[in-house]
Amino acid sequence: MNTQSSRSHAILQVTLKSQSKDGCRRAKLNLVDLAGSEKWNKQAVKPGVEIEEMKNINTSLSALGNCIAALTQSGRKHIPYRDSSLTRLLQDSLGGNTRTVLIATITPRASDETLRTIQFADRTRAVMQCLKQKLHELAEQKEKQADAVDKVHKYETQMREKELAIERLHVQNGLYQQQLRDGERQIQMLMSQVQALSTPPKARYPPGIDYPLVISL
């Protein structure tokens, strides 16, 4: 992150993209070499550029430590990734769906720096464990979501089948209603015929008109 000096963080990002009929999948590989935290030493540090480099390194490492501390706190929603360019670049590695490996370099000749490095590595390990738990919970949620989607599709299929069955029943009911009306008309016709046949012959002629007398011999 410093093109003019080796006293800086070094980051190599490789982005992979795979295209298939199912869609596009992207992956990112971050290779990061963090600069070590430096103490203020008037004899070792020259004024000017080196002081600014040391400040920038320590500030970015402090921002990284703040993000790691925030990630280990349960229920913490805001993570201060924007406090540093380093944390913005490493946001996917720290809080995303990733696999992260940290290699800490220590030496017995610098006990204080070694202790801080071990503490930093321990905090980072806690973040990785927390992320694994979150990823496990996310996988469970996705599985439950997939089950819920399957159930919804199943219920939708059942609803369509029931709607088709109801539609068929409506058609059958219409046919039965038509048959009932036809039957009622036939009954009325038969009742009219029965009534006509059961009426005496005299009643078939108007009043005042003699009807013929038929005698069978």
Q: Confirm if 104 and 118 have CB atoms less than 8 A apart.
A: yes
Whether the pLDDT of residue 90 is over 70: the answer is yes
How far is Cα 104 from Cα 61, in angstroms, rounded to an integer? 14
How far is Cα 30 from Cα 36, in angstroms, rounded to an integer? 18
Q: Confirm if 101 and 114 have CB atoms less than 8 A apart.
A: no
Question: 91-95 long-range contacts, Cβ below 8 Å, gap at least 24?
Answer: 92/28, 92/30, 93/30, 93/32, 94/67, 94/68, 94/127, 95/71, 95/131
Nearest to 58 by CA among 134, 109, 7: 7
- Which pLDDT score is estimated for 139? 66
Residue that the structure tokens 């209603």 belong to: 177
Instruction: Return the domain boundaries, the chain.
Output: 36-138
DSSP string, 138-170: HHHHHHHHHHHHHHHHHHHHHHHHHHHHHHHHH
Whether the pLDDT of residue 23 is over 60: the answer is yes
Return mean pLDDT, the chain: 79
Instruction: Calculate the CA 8 to chain-centre distance.
Output: 40
Q: Confirm if 102 and 124 have CB atoms less than 8 A apart.
A: yes
Residues 2-13 pLDDT 10s = 555 566 788 898
How far is Cα 128 from Cα 78, in angstroms, rounded to an integer? 18
Residues 32-74 pLDDT 10s = 988 877 666 555 555 666 777 778 888 888 898 888 888 877 7
CATH classification for the domain delimited by 36-138, as one of 1.25.40.340, 1.20.1630.10, 1.20.58.1980, 1.10.10.10:
1.20.58.1980
Q: Confirm if 155 and 163 have CB atoms less than 8 A apart.
A: no
The DSSP bridge pattern shows strands 23-33 and 10-20 to be antiparallel
Structure-model confidence comparison of residues 201 and 72, the more confident one? 72
Window from 60-69, 110-119, 191-200 with minimum mean pLDDT:
191-200
pLDDT band at 113 (very low <50, low <70, confident <90, very high): confident
DSSP state, 101? -
